[in-house]
Amino acid sequence: MTPVQVVLVSVGAYLGTAVLGAAAGRRAWATSLVYALAFCVSAVVVATAVSHLLGAATGGTASEVALPLGLPWLGSHLRLDALSAFFLSVVGLGGALASLYGLGYGHHEEAPQRVLPFFPAFLAGMTLVILAADAFTFLISWEFMSLASWALVMAHHHEAANRKAGYIYIVMASFGTLALLLAFGLLAGSDGNYAFAAIRAAEHTPLVAGSVLVLLLLGAGSKAGLVPLHVWLPLAHPAAPSHVSALMSGVMTKVAIYGFVRIVFDLLGQPAPWQGILVLVIGGATASLGILHALMERDLKRLLAYSTIENIGIIFVSLGLTLAFAANGMTGPAALAFTAALFHVLNHSFFKSLLFFGAGAVLSATGERDMEKLGGLIHRMPVTSFAFLVGSVAISALPPFNGFASEWLAFQAVLQSPDLPQWGLKIIVPAIGGLLALSAALAATCFVKAFGVTFLGRPRTAIASVAAEVDRFSLAAMLVLAALCLLAGILPGLVMDSLAPVALALLGDRLPVQAGIAWLSIVPITETHSSYNGLLVFLFIAFSASVAAFLVHHLGSRALRRAPAWDCGFPEPSPMTQYSAGSFAQPIRRVFGTLVFRAREQVDMPAPGELRPARLTVTTRDLIWDWLYAPLTGAVGYIAEKLNHLQFLTIRRYLSLVFVALILLLLVVALWT
């Protein structure tokens, strides 16, 4: 079978597993069987995708198949090329590790019959989106992916917060699908040919191209979590089971990025400079606002969800740079920025899945997502703590882990901006680079808070003090991702070379071959500009830490000295005297709070002689929700209430309305012709 046929059979296996999950979801053995089958199918998908991607590097061709399904005159076209093979690798690997995690975590699920049918269906939907080679198949698969993930968000529907999250998610998903439908309609034009091959070959006017880009930012951007379309993400991701949260955050958002890349860089044609400016500004705003909101959170899974928004912003900044360079014929810098974007897509799928798995382990062991009720877990969950620490370092873009490598490439692309001819880009790109640097620093602060408050110090509650390590399947999934974060960080050249066929196919250029550079260094442009060696940095850190530990333990004084421990000014040995998540974020809240969050601090100080404690109440707001979505939902509710009277009309009035509507439609047709 051809590679695309193998993946198509795998989609059928996913759907068969979903049927099995629906039929036997209440049985005790169903959880293990469904996740084991999903793991095996995902392993086949990732093996096929990776082999096809590596084959593309040596001159392999795309694999296609057409099925007699879908629109009568079109059928259903499926295609596996270098771009789809890369994103399919992300989906397959994420699905395999989420399934491995689910083999253990799934047994803690209180309603497995609400999860098991939709988990493999979700994987099938994401796989079909990436294989689709016509607009009809793409949109059907996109909607199937959205509905399956919505069902998983609603798995715990008895909680009011989850019902609200599911409602907002399905509304935003429907809005995004509508925007994509309009975009494909513009691309198909009056001929109505929805096959990607025909769209790719057609000429698109600047007005059509600009309109399609805006619709894509609304459609794919809403699914990815771009500001101001991000409001569903911090609600839906925490509501879903943790391995599903990892898939939604680490994988589904990448499927949305795939849709954007496929249309903009493959189907739309030559970009204009203003398109790069628009994507850059939106990406920079998304990165900075996402991490600022993450810093304010005390809910561990909401913090991770907001952090996803930040990383999506980083990816779109790199894609905006790609558009800016490609619009000016600078194919080398465009390939650099594009490789940085795809590299960060892969890296984010690694460390964000790892962090959601860690949050799920904490939730399983303690029943808590509130960091203020945790603490001291490093002594009771050492493996989970180690894995979460690796993910925290990686997402903070610290060497030698993978987050540093991709963000370093993005900054190298920013440094090429002085060669751009447009003064607008010369000014905006460095400003966006400064926002990226600020976001990286705030991300490090955010995950010092997340790891420190959750795992270090003393337990703040009784449940945290008796937590125990989770099952071996969950630990295995986390350790595999931790190893991948390290490997991608110390061997980035291998990843960059594997991404070269994608850049070459879409941009006509690629980065220099990295495999032959000594000591596994990477040189994205030339040695006179910059280079980086993740392996040497790793060896230096390991050697320095080992020497320091040896000196401390063997050459330090062995004399026994007794002294009171440093108490930070709080001699009371109470866990309540520790730094909390709120106190850790207080300096950032006071710097940005008035402008970004409309933060308010209210102190309730008891009068002299009263025995009640003083209380500090902090409130923050999402201004985008307050200014955009709250008035919109209010207007929709008002209009719906008024239109509700239509269902109580008499027959004569209904007939009158039908007559008036018919007259109006005839007038529209007459004017149109």
- Tell me what the mean pLDDT of segment 361-372 comes to: 92
Task: Check: CB of residue 47 under 8 Å from CB of residue 117.
Answer: no
| Cα separations in angstroms, 476 against 349, 361, 451 | 17, 12, 20
pLDDT digits (tens, 9 = 90+) for 78-89: 999 999 999 999
Q: Does an H or E element contain 153, and which?
A: helix 135-153
Task: Check: CB of residue 251 under 8 Å from CB of residue 129.
Answer: no
Using CA atoms, how far apart are residues 3 and 638, in angstroms rounded to an integer? Answer: 52
Q: Is the dihedral of CA 456, 356, 358, 479 positive or negative?
A: negative
Report which DSSP code applies to 66: E
> Exposed, middle or buried by CB within 10 Å (0-12, 13-18, 19+), for 44?
middle
CA 182 to chain centre: 24
* φ and ψ at residue 442, rounded to 5 degrees: -70, -30
Helix then strand count (H, E) for the chain reads: 25, 4
Across the chain, mean pLDDT equals: 90
Give residue for tokens 């209210």. 602
Using CA atoms, how far apart are residues 298 and 450, in angstroms rounded to an integer? Answer: 8
Give the torsion through C-alpha atoms of 523, 528, 533, 537, to 10 deg: -160
Using CA atoms, how far apart are residues 650 and 637, in angstroms rounded to an integer? Answer: 24
Using CA atoms, how far apart are residues 629 and 632, in angstroms rounded to an integer? Answer: 5
- What's the pLDDT score for residue 438? 93
What's the pTM value of the predicted model, to 2 decimals? Answer: 0.93
Q: Does an H or E element contain 414, and which?
A: helix 402-414
Using CA atoms, how far apart are residues 106 and 91, in angstroms rounded to an integer? Answer: 20
* φ and ψ at residue 569, rounded to 5 degrees: 85, 5
Q: Computed over its alpha carbons, how large is the radius of gyration of the chain?
A: 26
Q: Does an H or E element contain 343, and which?
A: helix 331-366
Helix/strand/coil (H/E/C) assignment for every residue in 235-248: HHHHHCCHHHHHHH
Tokens matching residue 462: 């009784």
- Looking at 75-132, which runs of residues are DSSP E strands? 75-80
pLDDT band at 557 (very low <50, low <70, confident <90, very high): low
Comparing 155-169, 213-227, 479-493, the range with the smallest average pLDDT is: 155-169
pLDDT digits (tens, 9 = 90+) for 389-404: 999 999 999 999 999 9
| Cα separations in angstroms, 210 against 171, 222, 257 | 25, 18, 18
- Tell me what the mean pLDDT of segment 258-276 comes to: 93
Report the amino acid identity of residue 130: I
- What's the pLDDT score for residue 640? 83
Task: Check: CB of residue 210 under 8 Å from CB of residue 61.
Answer: no
- What's the pLDDT score for residue 571? 63
Report which DSSP code applies to 132: B
Using CA atoms, how far apart are residues 166 and 544, in angstroms rounded to an integer? Answer: 49
Give residue for tokens 């209430």. 641
pLDDT band at 570 (very low <50, low <70, confident <90, very high): low
Using CA atoms, how far apart are residues 383 and 20, in angstroms rounded to an integer? Answer: 33
pLDDT band at 176 (very low <50, low <70, confident <90, very high): very high
- What's the pLDDT score for residue 569? 61
- What's the pLDDT score for residue 48? 95
- What's the pLDDT score for residue 626? 83
* Residues paired with residue 195 on neighbouring β-strands, in sequence order: 134
